[in-house]
Structure 1
Amino acid sequence: MNDLNRKFRERINFPIDTPITLKNLDDLLEKTASSLPFENLCPLSGDIDDLSDDYLFEKIIQRGEGGLCYDLNGILYLFLKENQLEVQLVRGSVYVPDLKGFSPTGRTHAAILMNEGVKRYLVDTGFGGNLPLRPVPMDGSEIQTPSGSFRVKKQDSEFGDYLLEMKLKGKDADWRVGYAFDSRESVEVQELTEMKKVITDHPQSPFNKKPLMTRVTADGSMVLTETSFTQWKDGEMFKEDIDSEQFKVLAKKYYNLEIK
């Protein structure tokens, strides 16, 4: 893999020579979320190529694409590891409010855990419009971020031993579950291929039917589908209906993605 450290920094516009520490991870995560869109063009294309360090470098760094959780957290994990942070990839399952339960696709969410001294944090840049934009302490303490409030709760489930809970700004009045994850089982990038194949092929996957693009910024988020463009700014929502030509223009303008 060619110079991931330098190329990743260039991709997200982060200073080349600045050491990565807990103190500047907030800035790093904001820049990553703003630069790397959460998008599902690969599942829609039927791409089931195996995930690897080289694959992620080519897709996200060289081709300038985004991806889903296994792509985005996969490349961030490799970058943090290259910068000597103590990190591990973990798997979990997203809670689906409409189903009043966890996703029928199972453990198809990838996230990162990071150790800093005696403390442990959840780091995630692949959770669509629900990104904390901050490392979330795993000791249960609540944090306030530009996106809202987040906390990690110790609780056993069929999908792990912890829950990420959140109250998104302008969206949630009460705490709700984002996903469950297992801190006891680490995986490597190559092992996320199984997750990718489930998301690509499963009949109940939310990402293999229609295009979806999301970007989170310090003051809100934007979500693009074939029929609508929704922007959240400082807790307020602005939504407009669009046609197929507008979809292509907006995909290029806000996500730097070419739609043919």
Structure 2
Amino acid sequence: MQTLTSLFHQRIGLPMNQTITFENLDVVLEKTAQNIPFENLTIIENKTVEITKENLMNKIIERNEGGICYELNPLFYFYLLENGFNAALTNGVVYNHAAEEYHQLGRTHVTILINHEDQMYLIDTGFGGNLPLKPVPLSGEPISSYNGEFRIKKVNHPYGDYCLEMQLKHKDTVWKIGYAFDTKKSIEDLSKLNEIQTIIIEHPKSSFNKHPLITRLTNNGNITLTDTTFTQWADGILTKENIDNVKFKELAKQHFGL
């Protein structure tokens, strides 16, 4: 029986038996971001199932689909555990830049913390186009990837004790808040993920229960598909195309394998 690691590597285009260390984790994160889309189609199509390790493997690895943070990061968390990492899941609150406040859905963003050589890092494979692509140290030291600059800031408010800040390449000229998270509140029970999924499915202010959204990184930018537009960032150049439902299905298959 194949391990999660070998199946996951097959899914993202890495050698099935490649050894994963902290030093080459950035390669895995890049491959994951480019091959597994952030998408909400099961919510829109009313096909969501209980969040379990088996169901996540079936959806993302066997059926070659993507998911939202509460699916993508838990699967990557299981992958990290299988490769000997000291990892934990936690949740946080995403910042709504349009409203200039934290989202009112509560702690619905699921992310990963790892401890490596007595240093804690944030890892995220489920934050749409805002992925750091490298472990981000909680010490505050910024990291740089082809997707931009990312850092962790110590904070003290009800949403957590740290927040992720970012300056996306070609998009941001100042540091922006991504989300706040709490290092003291790890998710020990997968039932918590099902509670989060229920909020995302049912809450009137959820941004994922109204229109389809599919996005993934490319090697020089990112692509995003909704039911009305197809947007591409390539080397800092933005192109946007209005589409209909027929074109949506074509592009979903062509660019995301969905």
Structure 1 Cα separation of the partners of residues 2 and 191 of structure 2: 18
Other-structure match for 1:44: 44
List per-residue Cα deviations over 1:131-162 (Å, max 9, x = no partner): 11111111001111111110001112211100
Q: How does 1:223-234 map to 2 (within 5 A)?
A: 223-234=224-235
Matched residue, 2:30? 30
Amino acid at match of 2:209: N
Q: How far apart are 1:2 and its partner, in Å?
A: 6.0
Structure 2 partner of 1:130? 130
Report what 1:143 is aligned to. Answer: 143
- Residue of structure 1 equivalent to 2:105: 105
Gaps of 5+ in 1: none
Match of 1:192 in 2: 193
Aligned partners of 1:220 and 1:36: how far apart in 2? 15
Q: Indicate conservation of the 8 Å contact 1:30/1:217, yes or no.
A: no
Q: TM-score, normalised by structure 2?
A: 0.96
Equivalence map 1:174-185=2 (5 Å)? 174-185=174-185
Unmatched segments (≥5 aa) in structure 2: none
Aligned residues: 257
1: CA distance, partners of 2:198 / 2:240: 32
TM-score norm. by structure 1 comes to 0.96
1:231-242 aligned within 5 A: 231-242=232-243
Superposition RMSD in Å:
1.3
Secondary structure in 1 aligned to 2:185? coil
Aligned-pair identity (%)? 47
1:120 matched to 2:104? The reply is no
Q: Find the aligned partners of 2:103 and 2:143 in 1 and give their Cα distance.
A: 26
Q: Name the SS of the counterpart of 1:99 in structure 2.
A: coil
CA–CA distance in structure 2, aligned partners of residues 217 and 23 of structure 1 = 22
Could you tell me which residue of structure 2 aligns to residue 79 of structure 1?
A: 79
Residue 48 (structure 1) shift? 4.6
Pairwise CA distance, 1:49: 2.6
Question: Does residue 166 of the first structure (1) align with residue 174 of the second (2)?
Answer: no
SS in 2 for 1:184: strand
